[in-house]
Amino acid sequence: MFMKKIVLKISGMTCSACSSGLEKYLNKQKGIIRASVNLVLSIASVEYQGLSIKEIEKYIENAGFKSAGEFKNISEVENKKPEKIKLIVLGILIILMMYVGMNHMFNLPNVLLLNHNHPIILASFMFIVAIIFLIYGFDIIKNGWKNLIHLIPNMDTLVMFSVVCSFLYSLYGFIEIILGNTEFVHNLYFESTCMIIYFIKLGRFIEDISKDKTKSALSNLVQITPDYAILKKKKSKEIKLTIDEVKPGDILISKSGEKIAVDGIVDSGKSYVDESFITGESKPVLKNKGSKVIAGSILYDGYLEYKATDIGKNSTISKIIEIVINATSNKSKIQRITDKISGYFVPIIFIIALITFIVHLFINSSFSESLIYFVTVLVVACPCAIGLAVPLVVVISNGLCAQKGIFLKNGDVIETARNINTIVFDKTGTLTNGKLNIDKVFNYSSRSNQELLNIVSNIESLSNHPISTAFSIEQKLDVSNYEAMSGIGIKGSINNKTYYLGNAKLLEKLKIRNNYADDYSKLINLGCSIVFVVENKKVLALIGVRDTIRKDVKKAIKEFNKNNIDVYMLTGDNHITAEVIARELGIKNVFANSLPQDKDKFIKDLINDGKFVAMTGDGINDAPALKCASVAISINDGTDIAIDSADVILMNNDINNIIDLIKISKKSYKIIKQNLFWAFLYNMCMIPIAAGAFSYYGISMSPMIGSIAMVISSITVVLNSLRLRRIKI
């Protein structure tokens, strides 16, 4: 049985105790290998084996929550207008209730007969209003009870106890008033019931709006693709299709100002295309026959016909969305710690509230006073602030990275990238474009240069090493017995003759003497990478190929040096060629002639020396080093194995984005620390006040003030997190 993965939309989560509780519950279930729950996106990412999706959804239901099906769209936003109208109407009712309940204290004019001189009328009015608010907040009470039953108590559980207790005690007082004991009119707390529900709902409404804002950068990823495509038929006929109707191999059309409908390869036409939404690169890119195009790209001018290739889950956009979801679901160390704290928070608060109630009864407070202290402790405690402190920042920072064309595959990166003090670069294809050109050929064979280069080109066509891009086939030849020799070169047979292509280490492997030192030195001094061409232990030629340095790499190296980040070049190329490139870029630390295992050991040695190392590479030979680096970074042009080994993908191949990543990480971590400091300080200060620890000094709190304080605490964390969106990079 193969392991499968699904991301489900979850409803019913209201605080971090919900998400951590559900996550803990799912991870205990048979058949679930790993589950991660994201509070901000309201999703559960589940890796499972031997289960159906219905069985997983049943687990979620058993935990007290509900699955809303597979999560497909980051931009899913509920219509909040009905909730807004309810809050406005009930807000007016709250103000009226506060007025009639407190007008006797400030000698304010009476409203009809709603005053303490008419206790039955006043109590009846407050009872009816409380019933309205109980209906409005029934979802909170229901969720609180369900989560308590399932042993996953959350914020709703605290609110449920506080609301039910204050309402039942007030109901008892209301009955006493009807029976003639009108003094109970001063011991009614119906307004507390209403206030608690109202401010909890108001706080969550504001939180939901803020969460939608945190997802805005991610939402742009799914909003950029058009709803339809233009299919080209015979006789130049055009048919409009929905994206779902497009099939791989269809020839589609995009004209000036239109968007590319799906990923594909240009069949004909020429146009400059804006791909900034995906790569962060602001300059348009020229596309012509054979060029890859990405869904959502905008044509500046011209006309393109392109063959549809990757559709649906295989498309670039879908893969990026999956990467973003994984990054926000895979929790960092600090988030795992706060989730663990949140899981214990609610039971601890309930115990504190119960102890507060018992202590106040013991010191001769009345039952109603003790109950109010109990209710206030439950209401003022705020697990939401603790729970939102980290995931909100993670979602926002992932959005910021996405806008720059930086995609994080690992949730730890946002926390750890700030520690990078050493960065190691592969040369070919990373610092350079990897698009090599043949600079000079020393031909020692009887074949012409054209014939020799065609043999080399046919063998190199089977390689995915950047050097292979320097060669183009003039005439197709059959190549057999192809083999890649890691860190050395490749070999292949043509017309029953075996050819070896590689670097200077190839001669050592084949035990051939290097009698070509002068020509080799000439190519080295030109800054060329050298390909030895060997047949039957005879060197046929030396081919020098040169690469071009990626744009803005010099600027990035200067920025690393300015920020006291040590820069190393680690390459399998020869030392002299590497030094030529290093001098041009301003890199002082160069290690050449490195095999994949040498790169791996080099990274490990740096880490053992106490360095926090970011390795940036693009090829198969970089994969071992990427695997053991503190942070592994791959450019988008890299091989699949390099990208799979990486924690970070630079979509626009610009290493300047590494500086942006470090800045975002530092700012994110700073805001996370501020959020956690505020959340813990708030609870440390407010809970003792709510419990009446300072009542002797005249410092106390009502349930209404407690609910307002709780809302302010959550909103403070949310607003502080949103500051990250204004970071200047």
How far apart CA 255 and CA 701 sit, in angstroms, is 66
Could you tell me how many residues make up the chain?
729
Tokens linked to 668:
């994110």
How far apart CA 195 and CA 190 sit, in angstroms, is 9
Torsion of CA 202, 204, 208, 211, to 10 degrees: 120
Tokens linked to 538:
């005879």
Strands 589-591, 566-570: parallel, antiparallel or unpaired by DSSP?
parallel
Segments in 586-622 forming alpha helices (H): 596-608
How far apart CA 365 and CA 170 sit, in angstroms, is 18
Q: Cβ-count burial of 104 within 10 angstroms (0-12 exposed, 13-18 middle, 19+ buried)?
A: middle
3-state class (DSSP) for residue 693:
coil
* Strand extents, DSSP E, 565-627: 566-570, 589-591, 613-617
Residue among 426, 618, 647, 660 flagged as catalytic? 426
How far apart CA 161 and CA 374 sit, in angstroms, is 9
Torsion of CA 427, 432, 437, 442, to 10 degrees: -30
3-state class (DSSP) for residue 308:
strand
Is 426 a catalytic site residue? yes
Beta carbons within 8 Å of 704's beta carbon, 6+ residues apart: 191, 192, 195, 196, 199
Tokens linked to 450:
């054209």
Instruction: Provide the edge-to-edge strand list for the sheet that holds 43-48.
Output: 32-38, 43-48, 4-11, 66-70
3-state class (DSSP) for residue 651:
coil
* Strand extents, DSSP E, 13-149: 32-38, 43-48, 66-70
How far apart CA 345 and CA 162 sit, in angstroms, is 16
Looking at residue 553, its amino acid is V
Q: Are 305 and 269 in contact (CB under 8 A)?
A: yes
3-state class (DSSP) for residue 358:
helix
Q: Are 110 and 103 in contact (CB under 8 A)?
A: yes
* Strand extents, DSSP E, 547-639: 566-570, 589-591, 613-617, 631-635
How far apart CA 103 and CA 377 sit, in angstroms, is 27
Q: Please count the other Cβ atoms lying within 10 Å of the Cβ belonging to residue 102.
A: 11
Q: Please count the other Cβ atoms lying within 10 Å of the Cβ belonging to residue 418.
A: 18
Q: Are 391 and 38 in contact (CB under 8 A)?
A: yes
Q: Are 599 and 621 in contact (CB under 8 A)?
A: yes
Beta carbons within 8 Å of 456's beta carbon, 6+ residues apart: 471, 499, 501, 531, 533, 543
Q: Cβ-count burial of 609 within 10 angstroms (0-12 exposed, 13-18 middle, 19+ buried)?
A: exposed
Short-list 223, 216, 660, 224, CA closest to 395: 216
- The residues that are catalytic are 426
